[in-house]
Chain A
């Protein structure tokens, strides 16, 4: 899957997402790959807030807002309903944010994976509740400043690491799971294409920076989404047939401090905080490199 293969059709346009929005880029391009037979479910969150304002409805394909907790369960109903009506050529795809996935929606998602429902669930992760104005979610990384994890003298932002949704999904023995970032768009879209051709439950976790919440320039969204992989704080991987596969194994990481320094949400971190982040990165990579298979880079 290369950019040249990408359809010219637009399925998500005329919406009011902020300039530089990573989430809207993920949704727009994923729908180009899935095509007009996508039945998209979006829970409460940024993408439903910007895309579904009657009478200005922004999806050219079938699309519906679910309850905040109900992305996966609504996908299940859509998939079962269409199948019961004898319709087979479609993709039931969810686009939920990090809070909608790792916090309030995790029960319904777990249920759907457990049942093996034939749905594609894409989590666009901007690492906080951005729609409500930057509050900590279960996917907010250690050290990040949000409006509910303040950076003060006593506490330096979020004190907990990011929940590991990719491996939580994999632990259900899911048909397919993958991590991605909009910074490596071709990798993301290749995974979307692959997942939409597979039966069973598919989960893709794509990093989608939010300039407002991350404290970056609106023109730096894609670059920072690339750098998070380059510095080793995120990784590109897949889980399939019971195995973890690392897709991209950087020979040398770029500077974590540089990555953090560019973002307003991390600017308060001191050297000890940064060292802690580097140590935890290295521990994770030791586990990955010792236990996962290496795919084609």
Chain B
């Protein structure tokens, strides 16, 4: 393994290189652009052998990746924000066709007003498109997701596309020291993509067909089952990953000091580190608090979440998202899991970081205080 000082985008591109995608469809959008620039360099200097397609839009980026995946080629693309929304039709197309494409999304706010900074409204608006959705906390996890995502997506029991989310700028443009595995180990971890779900001259198929009411719901049910089965495959992928690379991950979510915690903050993405720091700070003052970081939103870590918070007195959900006219979507998902498990503790929603607004130490301290003392149903932390 080699250690390098890389931005989140660059680290992710290294992970993609190690995964050996056969087709890359690339369209630039801030703050994703560096990923496709680095991949372009790798193709130019021969360190990555891949068909690099300069598509003319994000819609074509994913449509092209679907075409490549439909002939059994490993495909990669990356996007952000408006680009993700422009390709939204193709998201459902890729998952409905069970094409295990991997896409990096640099989480960024969506217009209007125009804004290039990070919040998570872009990817969270696409939660229902039947993609696996993972959220990295740092550049290393991003790189590792690039490898694990193909392992999970292409697994025969899953066969579902995978979106890896990195917070715009905070992760994509921040430099960290990153371990880059060798190609040899990466190849040991990730075998070439093999599938029967492909167009093949020896065995011609008609794919991406129509299915009327009689059959349609069966296909949809199968998609749902596959995404639930992904939970098991994610665990398998991480176990295998630890065996080969020595880095361990914790499945659908990561807990911090939750065992005896009375008050727990649930969040996702890069802000989790700061939340843990504040938890340490407050624990030193005698507060029994913990943090849950959701690593995956789909499949949703229902059982793991329930198990992590079941003894708490109250929970808060901090998210860079709002479903206008209702509440944060992560909060809705968390509440549903708690309700179904019969956990009736108070829960509060904290909306922050919209349009890239910084979430400060003080904000998080205040959030923990509010979870303990009681807050509004929905709290915009900067207002």
Contacts and interface: CB of A to CB of B under 8 A. Distances in A.
B209 interface: yes
- Give the interface size class of chain A: 35 or more
Contacts of A39: 71, 199
Contacts of A69: 59, 63, 89
B70 A77 contact: yes
B67 A76 contact: yes
A111 B69 CA distance: 20
A148 to B, nearest CB: 23
Contacts of A25: none
Contacts of B89: 67, 69
Interface string B47-65: 0001101111101110111
B210 interface: yes
A61 interface: yes
A62 B200 contact: yes
Contacts of B23: 77, 80-81, 84
B22 A114 contact: no
A31 B199 CA distance: 16
Contacts, number: 160
A222 interface: no
A60 interface: yes
Interface in A36-61: 36-37, 39, 41, 48-49, 51-55, 57-61
B207 interface: yes
A60 to B, nearest CB: 7
B93 interface: yes
B72 A55 contact: no
Interface in B58-108: 59-61, 63-73, 75, 89-90, 93
Contacts of B64: 73-74, 76-77, 80
A53 B209 contact: yes
A261 B136 CA distance: 66
A85 B67 contact: no
B201 A74 contact: no
A87 B198 CA distance: 14
A233 B161 CA distance: 48
Interface of B: 22-23, 25, 50-51, 53-57, 59-61, 63-73, 75, 89-90, 93, 199-201, 204-212, 215
Interface of A: 36-37, 39, 41, 48-49, 51-55, 57-67, 69-70, 72-85, 87, 89-90, 107-108, 110-111, 114-115
